[in-house]
């Protein structure tokens, strides 16, 4: 509750707005450079990093085992069968792609909206996007059964005259996701070029000097370099912005263009996009909170970031809740027995527990607590909340896929779905792969953009000069 | 060589310039002229003329509702997101929201015409359609089934109850936000954090409540003109559509006001350009949702859904539909891509005017084909001109009320943390 006699001694609070400051006080160009580049250039890798790396590597090993077994035996080792012909693979694919969206939103849309607070988190959010797309892209490939023929998805001029079905949104996915991955990688790399230049100049070991020198593409920090860098960043942001909408929209079409109750609904495109951003921000929090603690980055990733991310989650979670509500309402308003039964079955049928889990994780818990600023800025609470939302968003996809399929139009063909150990191994394996890649990123690449943080420091601001001073210096 | 310049000073007089009063007078004249034209057209058109007058009234109500309650929505959105654009548009948004009383009057008027507009309010319309051969057996069965199924919601009693609840909620938010805005003006700058939080808290939940109530009335007023059709994204489409038209209108107002003080001082090129970009985003969002709905229904090709589009594409509706696509998306999209255009006041105003016309045109395309005498083919008659006369009269009256409300308080809000920044000289458009 706001009080009118607002006073604070907290140096992290801006007295003009009452908001947390975006950066901790006392930061200088040197301190920012030292803080971020030392994480990369230090010869003493923290033991904790090794610990996580070994665990993540081991879990990635489980993934490799599961995939190898899959290639040897075929998709029969998974639980997919009639009537649930789509199972964990599509659920995981949508979940991972969704997670990636926050990175693009932070790096592109918030850049266009001139949201300076994004600067501290955009780099590792972009990295998260790329690794999430890697995990996501794996599922359609291994799901085709014969992954060595996966290139058939592309409209190549075959001599066999086999062409993909252009009216299938699964083909649109190929274009949407590959474009998304390409733009994300280019944007991510481009953003790091000035920082690579800094790392090159600060590196002590010849290998590091060579590696970062090569990656910096001859960056010298001249005015011309900066001008082209800024222009390219804005252009890429402009290109990436529609991708935030288009990719998950196309993924929502995977379901919505089918004439299946539970899938065929017009709210899917915006609701999928909002859900993607919702889960993506949850994952950014899951990553940012331990990172800032482990590497002592509290002055660069402040309560303001956590608070703002909480607000974004509240907004996008609200759209998701609206989507759930409209789905339920339209199942009645449609006056269709099929739609009505599907929703009844989804909520109260044998798998109604999954619907309850998603309502609790995505709506009941976060959308009641995130209204309170005190909780939004409670780091431990937000970390727990991010895990709950990530779980809830996985269950959302589970509910959409499984509960729409397992009881179809003919009661004689009703069935159920029970994932196998290989389904679980593949899913948890991707969590390992994601963590593995992310740990490599934080160790060898600048996880926070030094150049963009410096632009936010008071010393980077150009103030209009006082008339007296101007009289002697200006014109 | 150092460059320097001085920050501008906010004019002492922040009240609306006299030109607003002149706009008000002109709008009233237009309203009267078009109202008379509407009545004449109704007489000339006979029974069909009167029917079209009511339908035009529905379009007029929906359009002005979009301006008024859309203004409330954008006001709340601004309080939640913050930003400099609020300093420019907050007072126009407030004035829009304070026209709610006129929308309530319009809504009461609509209540008198329910039996000519909605099958759920007058099942005799179904029989009339069957007798005239406009409704075949399959359609008749579907309509009958839907009327029975949806009766708990679609009936005259709940129409009044739901409407009254929605307007009561909007009235609460409008009056609270407007009252608090004046209180903030009178308070000290030191109390700004308090007011920011207070507005944020009220507006955040307000957006949630508004989205739900607006969806309910969009279903009652427009979607239920075709009782058999449904689309889950319909409410969201209306929500974005309201933001689209409100932003266009607010930019027109801000740019027109910037010819004189105090807007002349506070509207910089940077903010004008940003507003252009913001509008571009809503143009895209609007088309994104509309096209998504179309693609899903078209691909599904289900008889209970696709007929809604068939009614709006076949016959001369194909031309209307194409023009709607051009006006609503292609023209604003293409033009707003230009950096020069967004920086040019006259051209940006023209694009915003096109957007408002497009919104009205889109509502015509949404409403008229729902009636079986117009479905799948647009019939040209005197009555169809009611779709111009009535909405123009109602919108002009609304503009007059808006101008009156705009004059009732200063057009710039003081005690805003962005004020100092907006008074700084601009260097370049980023």
CA–CA gap between residue B75 and residue B243 (Å, rounded): 10
Closest Cα in chain B, distance from residue A2 (Å): 6
Closest Cα in chain A, distance from residue B364 (Å): 22
The whole-angstrom distance between residue B31's C-alpha and the CA centroid of its chain comes to: 18
Q: What is the pLDDT of residue A9?
A: 65
Q: Token pair for residue A380?
A: 């431990």
Is A267 within 8 Å of B236 when comparing Cβ atoms? Answer: yes
Up-side HSE of residue B382: CA atoms within 13 Å toward CB?
14
CA-nearest of A452, A254, A62, A444 to B296 is A254
Q: In this structure, is residue B254 part of a structural domain?
A: yes
CA–CA gap between residue A201 and residue A18 (Å, rounded): 39
Q: In this structure, is residue B2 part of a structural domain?
A: no
DSSP collapsed to 3 states, A341-383: HHHHHHHHCCCHHHHHHHHHHHHHCHHHHCCCHHHHCCHHHHH
CA–CA gap between residue A351 and residue A398 (Å, rounded): 10
CA–CA gap between residue A364 and residue B146 (Å, rounded): 33
Is A21 in CB contact (< 8 Å) with chain B?
no
Is B149 within 8 Å of A259 when comparing Cβ atoms? Answer: no
Q: In this structure, is residue B7 part of a structural domain?
A: no
DSSP structure class, residue A463:
P
Q: Which of A18, A267, A470 sits opposite B196 (nearest CB)?
A: A18
Residues of B in contact with A472 (CB under 8 A): none
Q: In this structure, is residue B13 part of a structural domain?
A: no
Residue ranges in chain A modelled with pLDDT below 70: 1-11, 16, 157-161, 461-475
Q: What is the pLDDT of residue B430?
A: 45
Q: In this structure, is residue B111 part of a structural domain?
A: yes
Residues of B in contact with A253 (CB under 8 A): 295-296, 299
Q: What is the pLDDT along chain B (430 residues), one digit of tens a residue?
A: 444 556 778 888 888 899 999 999 999 999 999 999 999 999 998 878 899 999 999 999 999 999 999 999 999 999 998 888 888 899 999 999 999 999 999 999 999 999 999 999 998 999 999 999 999 999 999 999 999 999 999 999 999 999 999 999 999 999 999 999 999 888 888 888 888 889 999 999 999 999 999 999 999 999 999 999 999 999 999 999 999 999 999 999 999 999 988 888 888 888 899 999 999 999 999 999 999 999 999 999 999 999 999 999 998 999 999 999 999 999 999 999 999 999 999 999 999 999 999 999 999 999 999 998 888 888 888 889 999 999 999 999 999 999 999 999 998 888 787 887 888 877 644 4
Is B6 within 8 Å of A326 when comparing Cβ atoms? Answer: no
Q: What is the pLDDT of residue A470?
A: 44
The model's pTM is: 0.92
CA–CA gap between residue B216 and residue B106 (Å, rounded): 17
Mutate which of A237, A241, A334 to test chain B, going by most B C-beta atoms within 10 A?
A: A334
Is A18 within 8 Å of B193 when comparing Cβ atoms? Answer: yes
Is A314 in CB contact (< 8 Å) with chain B?
yes
CA–CA gap between residue B278 and residue B250 (Å, rounded): 12
Q: In this structure, is residue B182 part of a structural domain?
A: yes
Q: In this structure, is residue B5 part of a structural domain?
A: no
CA-nearest of B278, B305, B309 to B376 is B309
Is A257 in CB contact (< 8 Å) with chain B?
yes
Closest Cα in chain B, distance from residue A466 (Å): 8
Q: Are A229 and A194 in contact (CB under 8 A)?
A: yes
Q: Token pair for residue B80?
A: 């939640």
Q: Are A124 and A447 in contact (CB under 8 A)?
A: yes
Q: Which of A2, A270, A327 sits opposite B198 (nearest CB)?
A: A2
Is B293 within 8 Å of A270 when comparing Cβ atoms? Answer: no
Q: Are A108 and A187 in contact (CB under 8 A)?
A: yes
Neighbours of A156 (CB within 10 A): 11
Is B2 within 8 Å of A470 when comparing Cβ atoms? Answer: yes
Domains of chain A, CATH where assigned: 21-456 (1.20.1630.10)
Q: What is the pLDDT of residue A465?
A: 55
Residues of B in contact with A238 (CB under 8 A): none
Residues of A in contact with B300 (CB under 8 A): 257-259, 264
CA–CA gap between residue B296 and residue A254 (Å, rounded): 10
Q: In this structure, is residue B249 part of a structural domain?
A: yes
Beta bridge partners of A13: A20
Q: What is the pLDDT of residue A7?
A: 59
Residues of B in contact with A16 (CB under 8 A): 192-193, 417
| CB neighbour burial string for A121-155, b if at least 16 within 10 angstroms, e if fewer | bbbbbbbbbbbbbbbbbbbbebbeeeeeeeeebee
Q: Write out the residue range of the structural domain in which residue B104 sits.
A: 18-422
Residues of B in contact with A3 (CB under 8 A): 194
Cis peptide before A106 (omega within 30 of 0): no
Closest Cα in chain B, distance from residue A334 (Å): 6
Closest Cα in chain A, distance from residue B146 (Å): 6
Closest Cα in chain B, distance from residue A234 (Å): 10
ipTM for the predicted complex comes to 0.92
CA–CA gap between residue A450 and residue A220 (Å, rounded): 15
Is A333 within 8 Å of B302 when comparing Cβ atoms? Answer: no
Considering its fold, how many domains does chain B have in total? 1
Q: What is the pLDDT of residue A26?
A: 82
Q: Would you give the end-to-end CA distance of chain B in angstroms?
A: 23
Q: List A residues 108-127 in contact with B (Cβ-Cβ < 8 A).
A: 112, 114
Residues 6+ apart with CB under 8 A from B133: none
Residue of A nearest to B145 (CA): A335
């Amino acid at each position: 509750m706001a009080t009118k006699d607002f006073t604070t001694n907290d140096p992290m609070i801006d007295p003009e707005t009452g908001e947390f400051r975006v950066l901790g006080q006392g930061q200088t160009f040197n301190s920012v450079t030292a803080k971020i580049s030392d994480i990369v250039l230090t010869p003493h890798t923290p033991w904790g990093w090794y610990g996580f790396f070994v665990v993540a590597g081991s879990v990635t090993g489980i993934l490799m085992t599961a995939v190898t077994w899959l290639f040897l035996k075929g998709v029969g080792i998974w639980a997919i069968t009639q009537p649930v012909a789509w199972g964990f693979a599509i659920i995981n694919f949508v979940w991972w792609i969704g997670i990636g969206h926050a990175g693009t939103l932070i790096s592109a849309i918030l850049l266009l909206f001139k949201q300076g607070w994004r600067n501290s988190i955009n780099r590792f959010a972009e990295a998260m996007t790329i690794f999430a797309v890697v995990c996501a892209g794996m599922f359609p490939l291994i799901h085709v059964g014969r992954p060595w023929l996966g290139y058939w998805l592309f409209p190549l001029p075959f001599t066999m005259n086999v062409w993909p079905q252009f009216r299938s949104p699964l083909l649109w996915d190929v274009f949407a996701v590959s474009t998304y991955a390409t733009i994300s990688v280019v944007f991510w790399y481009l953003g790091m070029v000035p920082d690579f230049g800094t790392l090159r100049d600060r590196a002590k070991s010849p290998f590091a000097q060579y590696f970062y020198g090569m990656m910096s593409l001859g960056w010298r920090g001249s005015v011309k370099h900066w001008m082209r860098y800024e222009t390219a960043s804005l252009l890429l942001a402009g290109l990436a912005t529609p991708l935030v909408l288009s990719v998950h929209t196309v993924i929502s079409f995977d379901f919505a263009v089918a004439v299946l109750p539970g899938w065929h609904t017009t709210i899917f495109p915006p609701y999928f996009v909002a859900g993607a951003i919702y889960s993506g921000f949850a994952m950014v929090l899951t990553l940012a909170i331990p990172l800032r603690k482990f590497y002592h980055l509290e002055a660069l990733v402040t309560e303001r970031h956590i608070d703002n991310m909480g607000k974004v989650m509240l907004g996008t979670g609200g759209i998701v809740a609206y989507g759930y509500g409209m789905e339920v309402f339209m199942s009645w308003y449609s006056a269709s027995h099929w739609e009505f039964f599907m929703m009844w079955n989804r909520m109260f049928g044998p798998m109604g527990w999954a619907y309850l889990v998603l309502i609790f994780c995505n709506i009941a818990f976060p959308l009641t607590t995130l209204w309170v600023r005190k909780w939004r800025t409670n780091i431990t609470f937000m970390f727990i909340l991010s895990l709950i939302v990530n779980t809830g968003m996985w269950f959302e996809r589970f509910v959409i896929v499984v509960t729409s399929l397992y009881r179809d139009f003919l009661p004689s063909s009703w069935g159920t779905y029970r994932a196998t150990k290989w389904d679980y191994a593949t899913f948890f394996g991707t969590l390992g792969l994601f963590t593995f890649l992310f740990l490599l990123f934080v160790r060898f690449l600048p996880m926070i953009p030094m150049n963009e943080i410096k632009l936010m420091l008071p010393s980077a601001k150009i103030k209009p000069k006082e008339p007296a001073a101007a009289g002697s210096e200006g014109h | 060589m150092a460059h320097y310049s001085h920050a501008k000073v906010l004019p002492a007089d922040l009240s609306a310039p006299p030109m607003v009063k002149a706009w008000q007078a002109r709008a009233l004249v237009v309203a009267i002229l078009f109202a008379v034209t509407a009545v004449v057209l109704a007489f000339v058109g006979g029974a069909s003329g009167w029917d079209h007058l009511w339908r035009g009234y529905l379009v007029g109500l929906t359009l002005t509702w979009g301006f008024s309650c859309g203004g409330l929505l954008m006001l709340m959105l601004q309080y939640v997101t913050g930003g400099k654009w609020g300093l420019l548009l907050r007072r126009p948004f407030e004035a829009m929201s304070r026209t709610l009383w006129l929308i309530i009057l319009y809504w009461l008027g609509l209540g008198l015409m329910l039996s000519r507009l909605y099958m759920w309010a007058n099942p005799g319309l179904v029989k009339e359609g069957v007798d005239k051969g406009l409704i075949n057996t399959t359609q008749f069965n579907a309509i009958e089934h839907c009327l029975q199924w949806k009766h708990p919601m679609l009936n005259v009693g709940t129409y009044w109850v739901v409407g009254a609840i929605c307007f009561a909620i909007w009235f609460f938010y409008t009056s609270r936000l407007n009252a608090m805005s004046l209180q903030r003006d009178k308070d000290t700058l030191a109390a700004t954090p308090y007011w920011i939080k207070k507005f944020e808290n009220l507006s955040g939940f307000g957006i949630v409540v508004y989205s739900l109530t607006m969806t309910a009335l969009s279903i009652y007023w427009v979607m239920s003109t075709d009782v058999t059709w449904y689309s889950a994204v319909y409410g969201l489409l209306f929500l974005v559509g309201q933001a689209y038209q409100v932003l266009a209108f607010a930019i027109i107002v801000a740019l027109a006001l910037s010819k004189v003080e105090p807007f002349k001082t506070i509207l910089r090129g940077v903010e004008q350009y940003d507003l252009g970009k913001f509008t571009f985003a809503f143009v895209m969002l609007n088309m994104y949702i509309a096209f998504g709905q179309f693609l899903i229904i078209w691909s599904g090709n289900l008889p209970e859904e696709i007929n809604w589009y068939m009614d709006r594409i076949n016959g001369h509706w194909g031309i209307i539909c194409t023009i709607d696509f051009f006006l609503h998306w292609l023209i604003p999209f293409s033009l707003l891509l230009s950096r020069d255009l967004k920086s040019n006041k006259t051209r940006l105003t023209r694009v915003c005017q096109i957007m408002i016309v497009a919104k009205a045109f889109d509502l015509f395309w949404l409403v008229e084909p729902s009636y079986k005498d117009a479905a799948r083919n647009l019939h040209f008659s005197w009555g169809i001109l009611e779709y111009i006369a009535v909405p123009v009269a109602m919108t002009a009256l609304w503009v007059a009320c808006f101008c009156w409300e705009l004059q009732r308080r200063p057009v710039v809000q003081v005690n805003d943390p962005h004020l100092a920044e907006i008074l700084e000289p601009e260097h370049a458009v980023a």
